[in-house]
Chain A
């Protein structure tokens, strides 16, 4: 079983839709959770980062963590064509140094 599972998509939505992207993980030792966005032919860039269960909001983006279910989500409100990218979840443990485990990424396509 992979440490992090993520549906590769593609997920196609019309502009303005609410998008839900999800990951599940297998090891309860993971303590912090990140979402990275990767445009085609570019490096990933950090969108959101959270430690605790619950919701964290930043503009149109909301990260949600449910540690009891080992389930993390990223919601995008009022999606825009510029949101079309691959979204990667990443999880890590507090070991004193950072060794993130990435999901395979979900490709999102937002059509005008």
Chain B
């Protein structure tokens, strides 16, 4: 049973379209994340939610809007897609220890290609 699952795995779309990626974790973790990995493998945090509350919001265009309906789900909606949005988007979850540190469990990624 997959711990962190995200759909779809592959997305090919035209510039200007709107798309969503869904993520679910069955680990019972309180914290979920969206990371973006570009073509050079650079992995950068975009958002983090703790118990449905947004706690990290990096410098990301307003076209990206995360939504967490409950602590097991974190979705990412992207409006007006641009060529530079092409990347692999990873969802992750963690259960933070008292010191605010925890192992990140990643999904397999959603590969977005904008044409």
* A contact set with B: CB distance below 8 Å: 8, 32, 36, 38, 41-46, 49, 86, 88, 92, 94-100, 102, 104-105, 107
Residues from chain A with Cβ under 8 Å of B104 in the complex = 36, 44, 46, 98, 100
Q: With A94-B99, A94-B100, A97-B55 known to touch, is A8 a contact of B106 (CB < 8 Å)? A: no
B86 within 8 A of A: no
Q: With A97-B48, A97-B100, A98-B31 known to touch, is A104 a contact of B42 (CB < 8 Å)? A: yes
* Pairs A–B under 8 Å by Cβ, sample size 11: A8-B40, A32-B101, A36-B104, A43-B90, A43-B92, A46-B103, A94-B100, A97-B55, A97-B56, A98-B48, A102-B43
* B contact set with A: CB distance below 8 Å: 4, 31, 40-45, 48, 50, 55-56, 90, 92, 94, 96, 99-109
Closest to B106 in A: A43
Residues from chain A with Cβ under 8 Å of B103 in the complex = 46, 49
Interface pair B106/A102, CB less than 8 Å apart: no
Residues from chain A with Cβ under 8 Å of B44 in the complex = 102
Interface pair A97/B96, CB less than 8 Å apart: yes
A71 to B6, CA, bound (A): 34
For residue A46, give the distance in angstroms from its CB to the closest CB of chain B: 5
A43 to B91, CA, bound (A): 9
Residues from chain B with Cβ under 8 Å of A95 in the complex = 100
Residues from chain B with Cβ under 8 Å of A102 in the complex = 42-44
Interface pair B43/A44, CB less than 8 Å apart: yes
Q: Which of A41, A88, A94 contacts B101 (CB 8 A)?
A: A94
A96 to B102, CA, bound (A): 11
Residues from chain A with Cβ under 8 Å of B107 in the complex = 43
Interface pair A98/B41, CB less than 8 Å apart: no
Interface pair A44/B100, CB less than 8 Å apart: no
Interface pair A43/B109, CB less than 8 Å apart: yes
The list of the 4 closest CB pairs from A to B, nearest first, reads A43-B106, A102-B43, A105-B41, A96-B100
For residue B77, give the distance in angstroms from its CB to the closest CB of chain A: 21
Interface pair A8/B41, CB less than 8 Å apart: yes
